[in-house]
Amino acid sequence: MEKAEASCRAFPLFLLVMAMRAPDEWQIRLRPRAEDAYESLRRDGLPIWLADVLARRLEQPVPLADLSEGELARLPDPGRIPGMNRAVERIVQAIEREEKIAFACDHDSDGIASAAVLWTAFTDHFGVPAERLTVVTSHRLTEGYGLSMPVAERIKASGATLTITADKGSSDEERIAWLKAEGVEVIVTDHHLLPAEGAPSSALAVVNPKSPDSGYDPNLCGAAVAFLVMAKVRSRLLETGLRQHVESVAALLDYVAVATVADCVSLRPDRSWINRLLARRGLALINERRRPAWRVFLAEQEGEVTAETVAFKLAPPVAAAGRMNWADAGFHFFIASTDAEAAYRWQLLEQENYTRRQVERQLRLSALTKAEGHQGQSLVLYLEEGHCGVHGITASRLVDIFGKPTALFAPSAGQDGLISGSFRGVPGFHVRDALQAVADAAPGLLCAFGGHEGAAGATLALADFPRFVSLFEAETRRQLGDAPLRPVYYVDADWPAELLTLETMDILGRLEPWGNDFAMPLLIGRFAVVKRQLVGRGGHLRLLLEREGRSFPAIWFNTTGMENFGLGINVGRMADFVYRLSVNHFRGVKSLQLQIVGGAPAS
C-alpha cells in the first residue's frame, strides 16, 4: 500500500510525459481530488488507495452510508415534487371508477422499464385487471421521440380516459392538448428538461423533479419518477381504504435499477445518493432471481449481476428492440409470467441486438471514413444510408475517438425531406442547451428537439442541414472555446502490480453501483505486450500484458476502424495503456482482466 501511495504522489510527472508524447491522439488528465473528502474518508478508516479513488469522484465529504446504504426509509417524501399529489389523487380516482388507463412510455431502456413499473404496480400490487390497461410505445424510426401524434391517436383509439406518460411528455403540449380536447386526461411523469416555455399546460399534472420549484433530487431517471408516483398511489389507496392490503412497491426496484444504469443518470453520492440507493436495492432484487426475466438472464451469466452487467449485457438487447423496431419485446420480457415466455422474449431481444451490432459496425466504419480530416470543434455528419436507431451509439464511439461533440443524421423514415440526428457531448458541453441556442438563433429551423446535458436528439429539414451545422459549430465554440479538442481520459492513478488483484476488485464491488458520474477507477500504466489477438470477428483485441514480473490478460473492445487512430500496439514492445480492472468468469472460475480503453506504443 505504501507503493500505491508513492505512485499517486509521482503520478503528475508521468501524466506530463504522456501528454507530451502523444498530444495529437489523446489527453491524459488526473482526475481532481476533493481533499476534504479524502481526509474524511481516511478518518473513516478507508485505505489510502480507496480513499484516494473515492475522493476523486466527490466534491465534498459524504457519509459512508451514502456510498453503500440501502435503507429505503431514508428516501425523502416524493410529495416534494410538484404535481405529485394531484397526480396521485387522479390515479386513485381512476382506479376507484374502474377507468381504462393508458401508459405512454419511451422506446429506450428507461422507457421500457418505466412501462414495467407502471404495469406491474397496477396489476400485481393495486389489483387492476390487465384488460383495463394498455401500454403505448412509439416506433423510433417512423414516429420519433416523445408523445408524437401517432402515439396520441393510438391512446385515443384504446378508449383510455386517463394517460400516464413515463420518461416523456414534458415537451409535448400540442399532443397533450389534443388528447384533452378528445376527452383523455394526461398525467406526465418524466425527468427530461422542461422546454423554455415551461411544462405542458394542458396536462392534468406534471411530475418532474427537474421542475424549477421541485424540492427533490433532479437526477432521477424516468422509471424512478414512475416508481415514486406508484409508491404514493399505494399509500393513498391504503389511507382511503380503497385497498385493505397492498404489497410494497419496493419489489419494483429491479426495473428501476435497470433504468438507472441504462439511462446513465448520476450515481455520484454527493450528487444523487438516492440513485445509488435505488440501484443498489434493485440490483439485489435481480440477483434474487424472483422474476422469470432475471432467471433467464442470469442463466447466461457467471457471478452476480452488477451495474456493469446491466450496462453491457442486459440493457443493450432491451434497447435494441426499440432501436431497430418496436420496443414491446423488452417490455414483455420484463413482465413475463413464466420462464418459457421470458426465454422466448430474450431470444427475440438477442436477435435484435445482433442485428443492431452489425448495422452499427458498418455505420461506424462509414462515419469514420467521412469524419477523417474533418475540421472544427464539433462533428456533425449526414449519412444518407444511416440508421437512426444506432446513431446514438455510433456518435458515442466517435466522441471516444475525436473528443468532440458529435451528431449523426439520417433521413427520417416516413417523413420526406426531414432528417433526424442523435447527439452526444463531451465534459463541459451541454448538448440540449446547445440545441436550444440554435433554436433561439434560428426560429423554425428545428422541427423538434429534446434531451439531456450529455445526449439529445433533433429533427430538421435536409435543406437546412448546412445552416444547422454552422450554428451548432458556433455554439460549440461558445461553450468550449477554440482550443483543439482531443479525446480526454480522466485517470485516477498508476497503481503498482500488487494492487491489480481480485482482492481489490472485491473491495470495489462492495461499493456498487459504479457507473455514470461514479465510474470504476480508470488507471494508467506501462506494460510489455506479450500476446495480441483479434477476437469477436476482428472487432475486439485480446492482449496478454506483463508488468513487474506479473502477467495480466486484457481485452480492448470495439477497435474496428481504429487502426488509423493510434492503435499500433505490437508484441514485444512496451505500451502505455489506460484501463479498468474487471473480473472474467469462466466455468465458475474468477480471474482478473484489464479492460483497455486507450493505448499507444511507448516511446
- Write the pLDDT tens digit of every residue in 304-340: 899 999 998 999 899 876 564 556 889 999 999 999 9
- 72-351 is classed in which CATH architecture? Alpha-Beta Complex (3.90)
- Mapped onto helix, strand or coil, the DSSP state of residue 430 is coil
Q: How confident is the model at residue 15 (pLDDT cuts 50, 70, 90)?
A: very low
Residue type, 209: P
Neighbouring C-beta atoms of residue 572, cutoff 10 Å:
8
Provide the pLDDT for residue 602.
86
Provide the pLDDT for residue 569.
83
Q: Mean pLDDT throughout 211-215?
A: 94
CA angle 291, 295, 298 (to 5 degrees): 130
72-351 and 373-480 share one CATH topology?
Answer: no
Helix, strand, coil abundance in the chain, percent, nearest 5? 45, 20, 35
Q: How confident is the model at residue 12 (pLDDT cuts 50, 70, 90)?
A: very low
Provide the pLDDT for residue 209.
97
Least confident piece of the model among 69-83, 210-224, 548-562: 548-562
CB of 310 closer than 8 Å to CB of 294: no
Provide the pLDDT for residue 365.
85
Is the pLDDT at 59 greater than 60, yes or no?
A: yes
Residue spans per domain, the chain:
2-30+488-601, 32-61, 72-351, 373-480
Looking at residue 78, what DSSP letter applies?
G
Q: Mean pLDDT throughout 289-303?
A: 94
Q: What percent of the chain has pLDDT over 90?
A: 67
Is the pLDDT at 4 greater than 50, yes or no?
A: no
Provide the pLDDT for residue 327.
65
Is the pLDDT at 406 greater than 90, yes or no?
A: yes
Q: How confident is the model at residue 9 (pLDDT cuts 50, 70, 90)?
A: very low
Provide the pLDDT for residue 358.
81
What integer best gives the mean pLDDT of the chain?
89
Is the pLDDT at 20 greater than 70, yes or no?
A: no
Q: How confident is the model at residue 567 (pLDDT cuts 50, 70, 90)?
A: low
Task: Tell me if the bond preceding 553 is cis, omega within 30° of 0.
Answer: no
β-strand 589-601 against 550-556: which pairing, if any? Answer: parallel
Cross-strand bridge partners of residue 534:
541
Least confident piece of the model among 165-174, 321-330, 439-448, 528-537: 321-330
More confident residue, 34 or 24: 34
Provide the pLDDT for residue 11.
41
Provide the pLDDT for residue 560.
59
Is the pLDDT at 561 greater than 70, yes or no?
A: no
Is the pLDDT at 442 greater than 90, yes or no?
A: yes
Q: What is the spatial distance between Cα 141 and Cα 412, in angstroms, rounded to a whole number?
A: 7
The phi and psi torsions of 599 (rounded to 5 degrees) equal -170, 160
Is the pLDDT at 5 greater than 50, yes or no?
A: no
Cross-strand bridge partners of residue 555:
542, 595
The phi and psi torsions of 495 (rounded to 5 degrees) equal -75, 145
| Predicted TM-score (pTM) of this structure | 0.86
Provide the pLDDT for residue 584.
87
Q: How confident is the model at residue 19 (pLDDT cuts 50, 70, 90)?
A: very low
Provide the pLDDT for residue 246.
96
Looking at residue 416, what DSSP letter applies?
T
Over residues 121-144, the pLDDT tens digits come to 999 999 999 999 999 987 766 666
Which of 17-21, 78-82, 453-457: highest mean pLDDT? Answer: 78-82
Least confident piece of the model among 10-24, 87-101, 383-397, 569-583: 10-24
Q: Mean pLDDT throughout 494-510?
A: 95
CA angle 205, 206, 210 (to 5 degrees): 155
Provide the pLDDT for residue 322.
58
Q: Mean pLDDT throughout 191-213?
A: 94
Provide the pLDDT for residue 133.
97
- 2-30+488-601 is classed in which CATH architecture? Beta Barrel (2.40)
**Residue in this structure with the C-alpha cell 418459457, named with its chain if needed:** 340
- The beta strands (E) that lie in 416-522 are given as 418-424, 446-451, 455-461, 488-491
Q: At the top level of CATH, which class does the domain 373-480 belong to?
A: alpha beta
Is the pLDDT at 214 greater than 90, yes or no?
A: yes
- The beta strands (E) that lie in 239-363 are given as none
Provide the pLDDT for residue 108.
86
β-strand 133-136 against 101-105: which pairing, if any? Answer: parallel
